[in-house]
Chain A
Amino acid sequence: MLRKPLLALLLAAALHPALAKEAAPVAADPVAEARLMKLSSELRCLVCQNQTIADSNAELAVDLRNEIREKIQADMSDAEIKDFMVARYGDFVLYRPPVKNTTLVLWAGPFLLLAVGGGILVFNLRRRRQHVADPELSRDDQALAESLLHTDSTKETT
């Protein structure tokens, strides 16, 4: 009994233009929104520096997301949009900065430290091996040591 009026009501609601409009902005262009999210998650928000523009709710991040959204709608490529950001805010906005003279230490530094640490480790291990191989007791020393050990152990047992 209840079913048919309910169905009609649902149908009417679904077809109602105002309701259809309300949901529109979110899913306006899923492809563009996905691109926006992907792009802005690689860009640093300069106000709160450890957040991406995608994550941040800072006002500047919101403005920059709108800026990027417009650029996507204007058919600019990802590289062009990134260049736009770098031209204004510097390489610092990129979470993956390019390899350049100024960023060389950043990219090569960890490997350099690893090489230095590894070198020190190898050097120390070699030295230690030499130390272990070193002591060769003469026959007299050996006898002396044995007698000492012997007397010690007899003393202890008595």
Chain B
Amino acid sequence: MKAWYLIPLAIFIAMLVFLGVGLKLDPHEVPSPLIDKPAPVFHLQTLDIPSRLMSSADMRGQVWLLNVWASWCSGCREEHPVLVEFAKTRAVPIYGLDYKDQPDDARRLLDSMGNPYIASVSDLDGRTGIEFGVYGVPETFVIDKAGVIRYKQIGPITPKVLHDTILPLVKKLNAA
């Protein structure tokens, strides 16, 4: 019955494994129920020309990224250079949703740090953000030709996420 003494050790090792895995999980990354659902429709004024409205329906037929950002959000400033570099490759059109921001501040940020977006729209009251289930900017959605959300990145986009996840997905969706 010597094996009995090994049981606490086995339980301890199992706990270590679970806790170790738990350390690597981010509790802020809540899986979105909107994956594989049609993207919410919005009609919002563009950041550049407030009198011009843009609708999510205009993007039908192409794979595109919707990047939710704001000038007050530090994570967005962190990912901004990554987006600017990525936009130069023209791999996929990037549109911005300027979430609960002052348009003047937002324009100033784009002037000083570069503008990776084909266009940005202003979500002044955060309503569109709620429709998209946004709870922590920056967030990025990959939306396919039929207007269905295929992926959601919570938190800043890193070059690693871009090359390991987003680019392969965009290629796959473009081929479909």
Contacts and interface: CB of A to CB of B under 8 A. Distances in A.
Interface of A: 46-47, 49, 59-60, 63-64, 67, 86-92
24 contacts: A46-B135, A46-B136, A47-B135, A49-B28, A59-B126, A60-B126, A63-B125, A63-B126, A63-B130, A64-B130, A67-B130, A87-B33, A87-B34, A88-B33, A88-B131, A88-B133, A89-B32, A89-B133, A89-B135, A90-B30, A90-B31, A90-B32, A90-B33, A90-B133
Nearest to A67: B130
Given A46-B136, A63-B126, A86 B33 contact: yes
Interface string B96-124: 00001000000000000000000000000
Contact of A92 (B30, B34, B125, B131): B30
B132 interface: yes
B20 interface: no
Majority SS at the chain A contact face: helix
B22 interface: no
Majority SS at the chain B contact face: loop
A98 B132 CA distance: 22
Contacts of B33: 86-91
A88 B34 contact: yes
A6 to B, nearest CB: 46
A52 to B, nearest CB: 14
Contacts of B132: 88
Contacts of A46: 30, 135-136
Which among A46, A60, A88, A90 has the highest number of chain B CB atoms within 10 Å? Answer: A88
Nearest to B100: A59
Given A47-B135, A89-B30, A89-B133, 4 more contacts: A64-B130, A88-B130, A89-B32, A92-B30
Nearest to A102: B31
B15 to A, nearest CB: 13
B46 to A, nearest CB: 22
A88 B135 CA distance: 10
Contacts of A87: 33-34
B30 A60 contact: no
Contacts of B136: 46-47
B83 to A, nearest CB: 23
A60 B100 CA distance: 10
Which among A59, A86, A89 has the highest number of chain B CB atoms within 10 Å? Answer: A89
A64 B126 CA distance: 10
Nearest to A64: B130
A24 B165 CA distance: 53
A115 to B, nearest CB: 16
Interface in B21-37: 27-28, 30-34
Contacts of B34: 87-88
Nearest to B33: A90
Contacts of B30: 46, 89-90, 92
A24 B127 CA distance: 26
A49 B34 CA distance: 20
